[in-house]
Chain A
Amino acid sequence: MSGKPVPEITPLNRVFFEGTAAGELRLCRCMKCGELFRYVHPLCPECWSDSFDYVVSSGKGKIESYTVMHMPPYEAWAADVPYVIALVRLEEGVRMMANVDMDANKVAIDMPVDVWFEQRDDVFIPQFRPAG
């Protein structure tokens, strides 16, 4: 037990975390306008439609920005420093936050990365590592 935060499953994110448990990175797709978006919006952010399904992302993306965390914000992260937090722009255009499991000295903007899923308790969270 690392003590790292585990996402709480909510009506808004349930489909997403059912996907990660099945090895899928799901993106919301608006059935009215086609917009792709993260599971943080109760309505389509473009048109406020409430009818959407999902697409499965390729899981490939690029690092749009990053930081290397040297100071653990709390005890659960003490063993991980230095660790990378990145904003990853997926091929589908949606951007998300994750850690990148790599040598923190080598992280760079535009680096291609692939998704993987880390299990915390009974939840799988998307993470990335350098593509290859």
Chain B
Amino acid sequence: MRPGRYTDQGPYDLFRSLLKDAITRWNISPKMVDGLLTSPSGQSQGQTDAYVHDKLISEFALKPRFAETMCLGGASFGVMVNRAMSAVREGRANAVLCIGSGKFLKPSEGSAEMLAKTIAEADFEVPYGPFIPGLYALIARRFMHERNITREDIARVAVSARKWALLNPDARMYGKGEITVEDVIASRPIADPFNYLDCSIPSDGGGVVLVTRADIGHQLSDQPAYVKGYGEYHACGTISGADVLNETGAVQSGAEAFAQANLTPADIDVAQLYDAFSATPLILLENLGFCAPGTSGDFFNSGACDPGGRFPVNTYGGLLSYGHTGDSSGMSVLVEGARQAMGQAGARQITGAENVLVHCYGGMMYDHTTLILGRQP
């Protein structure tokens, strides 16, 4: 679903549109879908709905043997794929619909205060006036200090995301033109080291994936994506409690996913790395083993991650230029990874993309999931 500003639509309106969209793409019916995973929608509006699956089962007239509402922020969708796979492997479901929608109010409309109070310690963090960009900034500043990453290096990530968005008609910044490192640094300061163009774009939207048996996958698509490896790690759930800011849970989740897939970073052709802010793909490139410590800035500066580069990153524009759809943000990262593996990424398709890495995290880089998708099992 194209991200945008759907002011007249609530989370459930988005869920309905998403299901209709999925039905037009895949030949699925209520009898065939016997699993449902979803996540709360509308948290930036102060709604944490813990029983989304019940409402969707009723609305969509499903009779699933397997269903749950999951809440791990951006990591929810990586986790969904893993839980759905387990259910399919155990024979508890044949086809699991994973669906997420999200509304993301502008910070200036009150969401900054609400989200800060949701995500930070009430007595030892909230009194100091943090909000989400400021909390990420604490991770980014330490990373820059220890790894000799410059302000220009992190701005370059936003420049790359914009280049990709210009190839994706669904991206919020499609048709808006290229930006430069200077543009990023000259944009409105938000929370040092982040300026406006270092931040993702609050949007409404969502997405759907179907996790199913290989034989059903081949009935629905000429080229389904296979899950080759998965890793998950849950690091400390507050910034003050996270003792090491440079080494996120991506270190553990990445190592687990590579081991399970029996692959190394050198085997990956394209990566989708959750980019709530411009610095996070650099941290993830280093934590996942794609770049030695301190070299991720040079890697991006070389153009390696841009269109035409040797290691494309966030080929749909990322949250930075495609849009951050609130509770469903991680879904766009996952969907683009699946599309690249399935050869359905249009003008931005990476030819011969055999193995695709998808990394989603939730909270302030608390919950981490790494998926490795491929064209072959």
Contact = CB atoms under 8 A, between A and B. Distances in A.
Contacts of A83: 129
Interface string B191-233: 1110000000000000000000000000000000000000000
Interface residues of A, number: 37
Interface residues of B, number: 37
A99 B112 contact: no
A92 interface: no
Contact of A67 (B117, B138, B145, B243): B138
A8 interface: yes
B241 A87 contact: no
A90 to B, nearest CB: 12
A13 interface: yes
Contacts of B241: 38, 40
B292 interface: no
A55 to B, nearest CB: 18
A86 B192 CA distance: 12
Contacts of B131: 73
Contact of A70 (B139, B141, B191, B243): B191
A121 to B, nearest CB: 11
A52 interface: no
Residue among A38, A74, A80, A98 with the most chain B CB within 10 A? A74
A82 B137 CA distance: 14
B239 interface: yes
A120 interface: yes
A57 interface: no
A18 interface: no
B310 interface: no
A83 to B, nearest CB: 7
B123 interface: yes
A7 B124 CA distance: 8
A21 interface: no
Interface string A40-70: 1000000000000000000000001111111
Contacts of B110: 74
A85 B134 contact: yes
A86 B188 CA distance: 21
B142 interface: yes
B189 interface: yes
B308 interface: no
A32 interface: no
B129 A87 contact: no
Interface string A61-105: 000111111111110110010110111000000011111000000
A38 B116 contact: no
Given A10-B123, A65-B138, A97 B129 contact: no
A71 B134 CA distance: 9
B141 A65 contact: yes
Contact of B190 (A10, A70, A77, A109): A70
B121 A85 contact: no
Given A73-B116, A109-B142, A4 B191 contact: no
A132 interface: no
B139 to A, nearest CB: 7
B192 A97 contact: no
Residue among A6, A85, A120, A125 with the most chain B CB within 10 A? A85
Nearest to B199: A71
Contact of B112 (A74, A97, A125): A74
B245 interface: yes
Given A70-B191, A73-B113, A87-B239, A109 B145 contact: yes
Given A73-B131, A74-B112, A65 B240 contact: no
